[in-house]
Structure 1
């Protein structure tokens, strides 16, 4: 790996802002990506905010707090980890009943998808929305906030929890020809932390760039492999956003595992 590649990968990790308001954290015009956008919305208790999607489709997850959301299609109360989706040229009014934090994945809308609301249910039976991935130290739980069976233009999104001190996204995989991804971490307040690893080519473990991640960390994966691991006493917890290069590649089965990793 040359020095320039390392510098580029080091810039893939950012700490999202805590200040009130809407923050564009990752976007093609400012970061090393072509299609994925990540926003963070922080609203003070008692305030309202009208979220406008404009040319983007958006999948928003309530990371902290309690809120009400409404537009011509929705009128819902949101608890932690509930989510909603709005297509392009839409808006939604958010009333904050506590200090709230939303993580929002976004991508160009091509006319697919319609507004919907998803209630988080950790006891939901395993199926299209609630799944268990991996095994052993790499086993993790996944809850889709926007699963492949639901129409959208380019987005696939969900929540992942690893195990105490465990690996997530293991074995390492890449999907650079079809999709870009961002991991947005939460519920990992100091002194808890994890490591998000980035490397470009199969088996080049000596070229890994390590990103320390905690609540608020967001790490881009526009190319290459991106496994993560938690420190003992920590569960890696994140909202992941996959954005396809085109509607045709909006698929969840395109990940390619690193062939140099041996899995027993």
Structure 2
């Protein structure tokens, strides 16, 4: 990875507050579980599951919880300056351009774009992909390396569920897989075991 960074903020009653700055980097915070209050530049936002917050570069963030919280933090260097923006999960779920189902039988998944066309940002695009039980989440095989760096974070997978992400570098310009999906150069596949649901964020 050259540009995108990933981290987690895990807080509970015994360690309930953290402060940090994002010099030179725009930052996206996604609440994976729990609740917290994020304060940035005099504004405060109560975040709950699947809420998102876009924080422009060069600001101090303070995160506090009364119980427990698990936040995904992603960031990337950026030249421009964009506004501080909060995205409530229910606003994404109610917008068909940000929340939709794609794929065919055996490869159906639910997409929620938390930070995308709905905000002003320099580099970050953050979303959630939820697979249906036993479905591929990236079929047909594809990749976005020509224009995007991607990080996949797997969450909400109780035992014995697991995800498997395959990254294949092709030796020639085109290959055909057993299911006859045409791929070029690289491909990325993710599947879940039957009866499990995989939820990933990127």
Decide: shared fold, TM above 0.5.
Answer: yes
Greater strand share, structure number: 2
C-alpha separation between the residues in 1 aligned to 2:176 and 2:2?
25
Deviations along 1:63-110, one digit per CA (max 9) or x if unpaired, are 121111122353221111111110110122111122211111111122
C-alpha separation between the residues in 1 aligned to 2:91 and 2:56?
26
Aligned partner of 1:20 in structure 2 is: none
Q: CA deviation at 1:195?
A: 1.4
Call closer, same or farther: CA 1:234–1:116 in 2, change over 3 Å: same
> Unpaired segments of 5 or more residues in structure 1?
1-32, 207-222, 241-264
Q: Determine whether 1:229 maps to 2:191.
A: yes
Q: How do 1:143-158 and structure 2 match up within 5 A?
A: 143-158=112-127
Q: RMSD of the TM alignment (CA)?
A: 2.1
Would the aligned equivalents of 1:161 and 1:235 in 2 still touch at CA under 8 Å?
Answer: yes
Call closer, same or farther: CA 1:143–1:35 in 2, change over 3 Å: same
How many matched pairs?
Answer: 192
> Unpaired segments of 5 or more residues in structure 2?
179-184
Pick the aligned partner of 1:42 from 1, 6, 10.
10
Output the TM-score relative to the length of structure 2. 0.86
Aligned partner of 2:50 in structure 1 is: 81
Would the aligned equivalents of 2:92 and 2:114 in 1 still touch at CA under 8 Å?
Answer: no
C-alpha separation between the residues in 2 aligned to 1:172 and 1:160?
15
Q: How do 1:63-142 and structure 2 match up within 5 A?
A: 63-72=32-41, 74-121=43-90, 124-142=93-111
Q: CA deviation at 1:112?
A: 4.0
Call closer, same or farther: CA 1:126–1:140 in 2, change over 3 Å: farther
Q: CA deviation at 1:123?
A: 8.1
Aligned partner of 1:52 in structure 2 is: 21
Moved over 6 A (4+): none
Aligned partner of 1:10 in structure 2 is: none
Output the TM-score relative to the length of structure 1. 0.67
SS of residue paired to 2:49: coil
Call closer, same or farther: CA 1:91–1:139 in 2, change over 3 Å: same
Q: CA deviation at 1:51?
A: 3.1
